[in-house]
Structure 1
Amino acid sequence: MKQIIQDIKNGETILEEVPVPKVKSGHVLIKTKKSLVSLGTERMLVEFGKANFIQKAKQQPDKVKMVLDKVKTDGLKPTIDSVRNKLNQPLPLGYCNVGEVIGVGKGVTEFQIGDRVASNGNHAEYVNIPKNLVVKIPDNVTDDEATFTVIGAIGLQGIRLLNPTFGETMVVVGLGLIGLVTAELLMANGCNVIGFDFDPDKVRIAAEKGIKAINPAEGTDQVKFVESYTKGIGADGVIITASNKSNEIISQAAKMCRKRGRVVLVGVIGLNISRADFYEKEISFQVSCSYGPGRYDEEYEQKGNDYPIGYVRWTEKRNFEAILNAISKGTVDVKPLITERVPLKDFQNIYGDMSGSKSIASILEYNQESEPSSTVTIKETSFEGKKGIIGIIGAGNFTSSTILPNLEKLNAHIKYIGSSGGLSSTIMAKRHSIAKSTSDYHEILGDNEVDLVLITTKHNMHAPMVLETLKSGKSVFVEKPLALTYSEIQEIIDVYRDQNVSLNVGFNRRFAPIAKRMKQLLGNNNSPMNIVATMNAGFIPSDVWVHDMEIGGGRIIGEACHYIDLCNYLSGSNVKAVCMNAMGMNPKENTDNASILLKYENGANATINYFSNGSKAYSKERVEVYSQGRTMIMDNWRKLKTYGFKNGKNMSSKQDKGHFNQFKELIHQQQNGGNPIISFDEIINTSKTSIAAIESLQRQQWITIE
């Protein structure tokens, strides 16, 4: 299928060929008929992409600070690689989609095949959208009109926050697409509406709709006009739908308000606010978040859990429905806003010169001629007679930034890369000369040439995909963690015993050059030792999926397992018991600030401190080992200091966490045979220990590892 994307690195807008997405649980698969180009929002993305590196940095000063902090802790080259990786990830454009339902995911009951729907889908021939972001279109609303659903909801949410009452005077600053719809909705609320814009065509359209529309370029002082129009009272409220970097807009908005007036920001403007402008009149100011309550809430959007209507009357989906109802009844007339209709293949007629475009609403029209396919061929490549042919399931940031660059250095034979949406896998396939991109990982499992599958999906998918891969007779490498529950581990054990393949988990720290040097100095006599390992992991917001115990498993299972494996490697033994204590009062809560105590079968003892409340300026990882009158200290995988070792020498290098060595050994093992790069027994012990650490916290006692 075809999809429009924006290359953030070089500014190109591209019509890309990508696999059709697979319908997911709680989602609806839609065949697109029309989509609306939101010129204001999409123009900003296109212009940002075309900006040079310095201009991009100036637009995002907060990101610049993050980059500088990373340079201090990780070094210059890893930071540059990370920034380049971010810039290499293009953005899908568009969020106003109309089409026909062709697939319904598990748990979706309100839609059926053939339903005509509107959604926030991208500019793509097929889109896979969560059910709470999809609504049915009334029969008397055309496809063209329905493309305004999401745009209308953005304006409507701003109005709901403004809370207008019948007879009030409201000002709309910026009469672009959202501004015109917003102004018409305010009129439907019984308000007197004033609109300002510097485009005479937009002012004309607004005036034809009964809005008091003014072009300031003709010499009108906006603040004085509002004062005069309201007989010295001032506007009751102002909605800003403009896109402009100037700070003057927010100042004027406050000045044109009456005492205790309201200002709501829907657009993007400069926000260097003068306290005096708002203080003297006690003006309230609020920023509107997109389509309404539920936006960016994982529980609502991705998991499909609705808010009770008695407590949250207007969610984003109900705002969608309200807009369609208004169009159906003729309360809002969007037809005069349509400037042009363009076939998808001629998309450059819209995107070629957006900065000079006078268009208000451009509609893309779709006419899919080819059959939808879940796999596209990027490069014709023969894998005949080769061993260690790889298929990758998962095309997220870690795959892009770490896995693929290392596999490329090793000249690995990669036949597939897959992602549920198909876009990210296609971009990575092109960048790294991978033969095929797919949105259906079963294509990988069913290909007899593939003998090694790499799984880098979200954590809750690891165990099920490992089981499927093993049952398909293929070796598997899965990023940590292996599983989230004991029962998943046991099922993997049972299936693995019956297969003549290898199972590997991405515990890469043991493969780091400094870790190998530490092991060499300690020797293989497995004598008891004390290990203190600290991960200054950094704060991650609580709504990020890794904290969700059902999806990510929490950061102890998902990340601290790295250091459980490292301690196992250095001690030369398996854990026999674990106890964890965490910061806070409630042991039932998830945590990422904890100390884990490990007892080993050979008498070794380890303490892993996993903290998220430390400074980013301090080293992220540190390991201390005490054994037989000797001490060694590893600092952030860049330095090793030894004390008391006869043959010990300090070691310094660029930061290396072992990923390259890990994949080098993995590919060698797959192509030449031999033992797995980490024994199955060690993998199971580490995986059980990480789960047992959470159990220990909840039960407030030591947990024995069977």
Structure 2
Amino acid sequence: MKQVVQNYKSGELAVLDVPVPGCKPGGVLVRTAYSLISTGTEMMKVSEAGMSMLGKARSRPDQVAKVMQSVAVNGVPATYRKVMGKLDSYTPLGYSLCGVVEQVGAGIDDVAVGDLVACAGNEHALHAELNWVPKNLYTPLPDGLAPRHAAFGTVGSIALQGVRQGEPQLGETALVIGLGLIGQLVVQLLTASGVRVVGADPDPVRCELAARLGAAACGDPGSAAVETAVAELSGGHGVDQVYLAAGGGSNQPVELAARLSRDRGRVVDIGKCRLDLPWNAYYEKELDVRFSRSYGPGRYDPEYELEGRDYPIGYVRWTERRNLACFLDLLARGSVDVEPLISHIADFDDAVKTYQQLKDGELKAVAVLFRYPDQTEDGNVAAPAVTVPAVRRGDAASAPARSAPVRPAGAPVRLAFVGAGNYASSMLLPHLAEREGVTLSTVVTTTALSAANAQRKFGFTGATTDLDSVLGDPAVDAVFVVTRHSSHAELTRKALLAGKTVFVEKPLALTEDELAGVLAAVEESGNDRLQVGFNRRFAPLLREAKNRFGARTGPASLRYLVNAGRLGHGSWYLQQATEGSRFAGEGGHFIDTASWLLGSDPVSVYAVAPSGAEAGGDVQIMLRYADGSTATIGYVTTGASGFPKETLDLVADGRVLKFDDFVRASVFADGGVGRKRWVSSRLPKARDKGQSAELAAFIRAVRTGGPMPVPLESLVATTSATLAVQTGLAAGTPVTLARPR
């Protein structure tokens, strides 16, 4: 299928051929009829992409701060790869469309194949021929509503939510500053609510349009006409509400809002304009400044948007989805008219040309629609031109187990990736893309564009959203599972049963049942060719320090401090209900490192959390080993961001190993003729945490058929110990670990 994309690094716009997205449970696959270009939000993104790197940095200081924090934690090279990987990728455009339901995912019962729906979301309602849309981001069309009008649903919801934040009442007066697409809709919604509206915009064409759509008066923000109209309509008191629907870097809108508001008036920010509030003006009138968060309650909440968990109507009357349905109803009843806002309808194939015309100012428009190939001139939906591949619903695990194919001598190792997110793209694939004797065969993702990006950047032979086709491909030697934590165990189980050698990023499992399922797959298939991405034991500096420390004769004491830091708002690590606790997700790294240094697997785990600590936050773990050794892991999220992330000390037999965050290591020892000391000779160029060496060992095992880099028993023991942390926290007692069979 085709999708409009942009490379944020170069600014390139393209209509790209990408795989059809899979129809996941909890949502529907929608074939687009019309999608709407947001001439404000989207064109701002398009313009930013055309800036220099310095210009991009100035426009997004929040992202610059994240980069600097990453440099402090991961070093310059790793951060550079991560940032460039994100910048030099195709990103999607679009967030408002109308289309036809093509497939219905499990758990959906409110629409059927062939129904028309309006869809929202900058990850789901894209300028693409097909989109997978979760339940709370689509709504069926009322009877008789034209698809091209329903394509305005998302921007209509944004305007509607802004109006709700202003709490308009019959007979009040409002000022709308900025008469672009959102401003024009706000004017109509306020007028329909019985509010008298004054519009302000420097463009006389937009002012004229707003007047035709119901505004009592319109004019340039700097003209006396606007102030005169406000005085006449409000009896000299000032407007009850001001809606900031303007963009740009001028502070004029907030200053005008203060000047023309009544005492204790309401100022609602809907757009993205400069907000240097003049303190005296806002203080003296005690103005109520409010923000409107996009489409309404539920926005940016993954449980609402992705998992379909609705808010009770008794507590949250107007959610994203209910706002979307309300706006469509207003359109269907004629209370809002979007037809006059449509400046241009372009064929989808002309998308790049259309964006360029908008950017250059050749096309001056309030709203532009893309019409897709299956859409007829009269607005009816024709037969589909895009064929959705048949999805095999059967579980790949039900296929008979088979051994991995015998590899001809000298043949390249063929790898498939399931998942191509940030970690895979920055930490794994760069080490594999140009490795001799390795072929990147197929990348599988649930979203079309991430697969296409990985294929373009790393040279995969193919890209798909169909997992079963990859597991059933006898030419694939090994499968990398690099998806979200909640899917690791099931995908690993399927790949093992399909006879594949598997590399799965940590964690292997989030529950004992998931771990048991993986082990059952190993037993059923006889395939134990498994590696978990515990890379730290492969780090060159740590391996050298261990060798310098030497063999032990007595028990050891290990202390490991992990200064994990706080997570940013919106991180999927915070989705503990589905993705497990943060420690469950990455704690295996540190337990594996401790066990490797001590040369055995733990026999018991005792975990405690500081009083009042947030769930999934700070935790202290004591591991005991059969030879009497102990390891204490302090996993903290409340430390200083400037302190190293990982530091450890290993003490035994009159020796101390000190390791500082993959940058410096030293060993102190008491000898027969005095004290000895070894210190790593120089600072490494980067924090090498072992990914390259780990991948080399894995590829070697796949190529030769030799033992896996880490025994299965050790992987299981580390996973069991990680899971026991949560069990121990709940019980408040030590947990004895069963020995792996």
TM-score, normalised on structure 2? 0.91
Distance in 2 (CA, whole Å) between partners of 1:409 and 1:537 is 32
Following superposition, the deviation at residue 521 of structure 1 comes to 2.3
Distance in 1 (CA, whole Å) between partners of 2:190 and 2:630 is 68
Distance in 1 (CA, whole Å) between partners of 2:144 and 2:521 is 56
Residue in structure 2 matching 1:198, options 192, 202, 205? 202
| Segment drifting more, 332-341 vs 649-658 | 649-658
- Determine the structure 1 residue equivalent to 2:529: 502
- Determine the structure 2 residue equivalent to 1:390: 415
Following superposition, the deviation at residue 228 of structure 1 comes to 4.8
Deviations 1:36-88 (A, max 9, x none): 11111111100111111101111122322333333344332223222212212
User: What secondary structure is seen at the aligned counterpart in 1 of 2:95?
Assistant: coil
Q: Does 1:261 align with 2:291?
A: no
Q: Does 1:285 align with 2:310?
A: no
- Determine the structure 2 residue equivalent to 1:570: 597
- Determine the structure 2 residue equivalent to 1:142: 146
Distance in 2 (CA, whole Å) between partners of 1:460 and 1:3 is 29
Cα-Cα RMSD: 1.9
Distance in 2 (CA, whole Å) between partners of 1:694 and 1:680 is 22
User: What secondary structure is seen at the aligned counterpart in 2 of 1:534?
Assistant: strand
- Determine the structure 1 residue equivalent to 2:700: 668
| Segment drifting more, 220-229 vs 26-35 | 220-229
Following superposition, the deviation at residue 214 of structure 1 comes to 2.5
Distance in 1 (CA, whole Å) between partners of 2:269 and 2:390 is 41
Following superposition, the deviation at residue 371 of structure 1 comes to 2.4
- Determine the structure 1 residue equivalent to 2:680: 650
- Determine the structure 2 residue equivalent to 1:380: none
Asked if 2 retains the 8 angstrom alpha-carbon contact of 1:387 and 1:670, the reply is no
* Unaligned stretches of 5+ residues in structure 2: 375-384, 392-406, 671-675
Distance in 2 (CA, whole Å) between partners of 1:387 and 1:43 is 45
One-letter code aligned to 2:292: S
Distance in 2 (CA, whole Å) between partners of 1:445 and 1:213 is 65
Residue in structure 2 matching 1:163, options 159, 164, 167? 167
- Determine the structure 2 residue equivalent to 1:124: 128
- Determine the structure 2 residue equivalent to 1:364: 370
User: What secondary structure is seen at the aligned counterpart in 2 of 1:352?
Assistant: helix
- Determine the structure 1 residue equivalent to 2:500: 474
One-letter code aligned to 2:599: G
Asked if 2 retains the 8 angstrom alpha-carbon contact of 1:623 and 1:633, the reply is yes
- Determine the structure 1 residue equivalent to 2:400: none
One-letter code aligned to 1:359: A
Within-5 A mapping of 1:295-334: 295-334=299-338
Distance in 2 (CA, whole Å) between partners of 1:97 and 1:359 is 18
Within-5 A mapping of 1:83-482: 83-120=83-120, 121-216=125-220, 219-220=223-224, 222-223=226-227, 225-355=229-359, 356=361, 357-367=363-373, 369-373=385-389, 386-411=411-436, 412-482=438-508
Following superposition, the deviation at residue 455 of structure 1 comes to 0.3
Following superposition, the deviation at residue 197 of structure 1 comes to 1.2
Asked if 2 retains the 8 angstrom alpha-carbon contact of 1:19 and 1:374, the reply is no
One-letter code aligned to 2:608: N
Asked if 1 retains the 8 angstrom alpha-carbon contact of 2:90 and 2:449, the reply is no
- Determine the structure 2 residue equivalent to 1:56: 56
Following superposition, the deviation at residue 634 of structure 1 comes to 1.0
| Segment drifting more, 60-69 vs 198-207 | 60-69
- Determine the structure 2 residue equivalent to 1:47: 47
Following superposition, the deviation at residue 102 of structure 1 comes to 1.1
Q: Does 1:519 align with 2:517?
A: no
Distance in 2 (CA, whole Å) between partners of 1:224 and 1:386 is 81
Following superposition, the deviation at residue 373 of structure 1 comes to 4.5
Q: How many equivalent pairs are there?
A: 697
- Determine the structure 1 residue equivalent to 2:721: 689
Following superposition, the deviation at residue 147 of structure 1 comes to 0.8
One-letter code aligned to 2:81: D
Following superposition, the deviation at residue 224 of structure 1 comes to 5.6
| Segment drifting more, 459-468 vs 215-224 | 215-224
Distance in 2 (CA, whole Å) between partners of 1:108 and 1:147 is 22
Asked if 2 retains the 8 angstrom alpha-carbon contact of 1:394 and 1:417, the reply is yes
Distance in 1 (CA, whole Å) between partners of 2:725 and 2:264 is 54
| Segment drifting more, 512-521 vs 64-73 | 64-73
Distance in 1 (CA, whole Å) between partners of 2:225 and 2:688 is 61
- Determine the structure 1 residue equivalent to 2:17: 17
Structure 1 pair 49–671 and aligned structure 2 pair: CA distance change class (3 A) = same
Distance in 2 (CA, whole Å) between partners of 1:184 and 1:349 is 31
Distance in 1 (CA, whole Å) between partners of 2:509 and 2:190 is 53
Following superposition, the deviation at residue 276 of structure 1 comes to 1.1
Following superposition, the deviation at residue 552 of structure 1 comes to 1.8
Residue in structure 1 matching 2:731, options 699, 702, 705? 699
Distance in 1 (CA, whole Å) between partners of 2:317 and 2:443 is 43
- Determine the structure 2 residue equivalent to 1:598: 623
Distance in 2 (CA, whole Å) between partners of 1:373 and 1:16 is 18
Q: Does 1:555 align with 2:582?
A: yes
* Unaligned stretches of 5+ residues in structure 1: 376-382
Following superposition, the deviation at residue 489 of structure 1 comes to 1.2
Q: Does 1:493 align with 2:509?
A: no
Following superposition, the deviation at residue 151 of structure 1 comes to 1.0
One-letter code aligned to 1:665: A
One-letter code aligned to 2:680: N
Distance in 1 (CA, whole Å) between partners of 2:634 and 2:228 is 62
User: What secondary structure is seen at the aligned counterpart in 2 of 1:280?
Assistant: helix
Structure 1 pair 601–179 and aligned structure 2 pair: CA distance change class (3 A) = same
Following superposition, the deviation at residue 611 of structure 1 comes to 0.6
Following superposition, the deviation at residue 249 of structure 1 comes to 1.4
Structure 1 pair 266–526 and aligned structure 2 pair: CA distance change class (3 A) = farther
Distance in 1 (CA, whole Å) between partners of 2:588 and 2:468 is 29
Deviations 1:428-483 (A, max 9, x none): 11011111111122221111100100001111100000110001010100000000
Structure 1 pair 274–221 and aligned structure 2 pair: CA distance change class (3 A) = farther
User: What secondary structure is seen at the aligned counterpart in 1 of 2:678?
Assistant: coil
User: What secondary structure is seen at the aligned counterpart in 1 of 2:250?
Assistant: coil
User: What secondary structure is seen at the aligned counterpart in 2 of 1:321?
Assistant: helix
- Determine the structure 2 residue equivalent to 1:26: 26
Asked if 2 retains the 8 angstrom alpha-carbon contact of 1:172 and 1:196, the reply is yes
- Determine the structure 2 residue equivalent to 1:677: 709
Asked if 1 retains the 8 angstrom alpha-carbon contact of 2:75 and 2:687, the reply is yes
Asked if 2 retains the 8 angstrom alpha-carbon contact of 1:524 and 1:572, the reply is no
Following superposition, the deviation at residue 90 of structure 1 comes to 3.0
> Percent of aligned positions with the same letter in both sequences?
35
User: What secondary structure is seen at the aligned counterpart in 2 of 1:313?
Assistant: coil
User: What secondary structure is seen at the aligned counterpart in 1 of 2:492?
Assistant: helix
| Segment drifting more, 628-637 vs 541-550 | 541-550
| Segment drifting more, 270-279 vs 524-533 | 524-533
Distance in 1 (CA, whole Å) between partners of 2:224 and 2:90 is 42
One-letter code aligned to 2:354: I
Distance in 2 (CA, whole Å) between partners of 1:204 and 1:118 is 29
Asked if 2 retains the 8 angstrom alpha-carbon contact of 1:526 and 1:572, the reply is no
Distance in 2 (CA, whole Å) between partners of 1:277 and 1:90 is 45
- Determine the structure 2 residue equivalent to 1:379: none
| Segment drifting more, 494-503 vs 108-117 | 494-503
Distance in 1 (CA, whole Å) between partners of 2:667 and 2:658 is 7
Following superposition, the deviation at residue 561 of structure 1 comes to 1.1
One-letter code aligned to 1:288: S
Distance in 2 (CA, whole Å) between partners of 1:217 and 1:249 is 8
